[in-house]
Amino acid sequence: MSDGSIERLARGTLLPSFPGASAPRWLQDELERGLGGVTLFALIGNVPSPEALAALTAEMRKAADPIITIDEEGGDVTRLGGHLTGSPYPGNAALGAVDDPELTRRVYRSLGAELAEVGVNLNFAPSVDVNTAADNPVIGTRSFGSDPELVARHAVASVIGTQEAGVAACAKHFPGHGATVEDSHLGVPIVDADLALLDRRDLLPFRGAIQAGTQAVMTGHLDLPSITKGVPSTLSRAAITGLLREHLGYQGVIVTDALDMQGASGAIGIPEASVRALLAGADLLCLGPNEHQESLRAVLAAIEKAVRAGRLPLERLHDAAERTRRMKEWLADPTPAIVDRAAGIEAARRALRVTGAATATGNATASGAVSGSISGSVSGAETGSVTGEFSGLSNGPLVVEVASTGNIAVGPTPWGLSPWAPDTVRAEGTPSEAASLLERATGRGLVVVLRDAHRHAGQRALTTALLQSRPDAIVVEMGLPVWIPEGAVHVATYGAAAANAQAAAELLGLTHAP
């Protein structure tokens, strides 16, 4: 086979990135030479607006028929305009809290419809990780929950919904990132599980996604010592070919998580990680947000060298090309779907949970925190889904949003109640801030907004200090409700998307449902 044929097959496995909202000349040239596709990232300017993104994808399709991918999970991980305003769709934790698979299907079908409208044809979603580690630094609200069977039924619903819109789904992060306490962007997390545990926990949702016909599965950079023997799953034949291909019987496209992450290439570099991922059985290689023309050329050279040296069998590239061809064939006959943003706000409203609700009833307190009661219903004794609102807060409560560092996957997406609460202040999360905040809240309601307080000692410390003087304050948790201060009125949204924030604002009486 000629070097030109090897080069074209190698190009077909690559999903580089590029900066800006216009395809550079080098990218157009590479697409014409057989480049597999691209991965889009909001942080490098690929998505200034949906309209600009549609123009960009149309521009790229003048050169070829590429796979155009993006990381649009809804919820906290959002790229399609949501990185500027917050997503109109709640993420997986809220959908899991509602536990209505048909609603999950509607949400993902609508997300898929929005992606199809702007020319994206492969979505790096859903995350089907079973989040069993409460202190997981990278999954959290991206997971449907900690129950494998619940996650599995929503994995099925989200894959079906996405693909009903003609967009390929990609179940991630195989073999499951939910039991980790380390971020694979920064290192190689260890999942201490044998095959029996993986089968009944982490692999169950992937089985569901595969049975639902997912067009792609994404690998995670995870070490399973009993299986991968110290090698990240993305680079492990035992994980990709052994677990995913042979044990689960998956025959579709396997795509890597970004190879610029420390968990994949930190010790060996991206070109070598690319060769090892292909050897392990991957078909498409996501390079990362800062891996442009220079990185592409280095990876191509490494792959071609490995083929010519006999290290990487040419058949492996042919296998990858054939699976990618089948996915493109599936993509060539899409069934259009209708955008249904009503599904997003419905899910966010139904996901709300209140604890300590009994303490919010009665007459106004001396400090004026709650001048009324919760109107509507709370299902269950003290915790449940909520309809109605807290009356009395519409007179202008002080809303304190306590600083929370997002993880790398989420990025700097806006969150909080400030769009509906004119008097919102940001706090860093130290007990010393309590005095001035309490003075400012004198004579009116006080709402404290947190995000994953169980992971942020400062959030817990400041909230505890405020509640000591204002036990009538309302605490809103916009991450996972792991830490719930005893005796407080606590509202859990299960996510920080714009839809979650709107639902909470409606409940608190800061705005009203249209």
Distance CA 203, CA 504 (A): 34
State the catalytic residue, choosing from 257, 260, 283, 472. 257
Rounded to the nearest 10 degrees, what angle do helices 25-32 and 293-308 cross at?
30
Among 253, 263, 319, 306, smallest CA distance to 288 is for 263
State the catalytic residue, choosing from 83, 154, 173, 185. 185
Paired tokens of 289: 């947000």
Distance CA 18, CA 408 (A): 19
What's the per-residue H, E or C state across 133-166?
A: CCCCCCCHHHCCCCCHHHHHHHHHHHHHHHHHCC
363 to each of 373, 396, 404, 486, how far by Cα in Å? 8, 17, 33, 21
**Residue tagged 């997390």 (tokens):** 189
Does the annotation mark 456 as catalytic?
A: no
CB of 393 within 8 A of CB of 510? yes
CB of 403 within 8 A of CB of 428? yes
Exposure class string for 448-460: b at 16+ Cβ within 10 A, else e: bbbbbbbbbebbb
Does the annotation mark 257 as catalytic?
A: yes
CB of 490 within 8 A of CB of 477? yes
CB of 447 within 8 A of CB of 477? no
**DSSP reduced 3-state for 113:** helix
Scanning 165-261, the segments in alpha helix (DSSP H) are 195-200, 203-211, 237
Amino acid identity for residue 499 in this structure: A
- Residue 434 neighbours by CB under 8 Å, 6+ apart: 462, 465, 466, 469
- The full length of the chain comes to 514
Enumerate the active-site residues. Answer: 185, 257
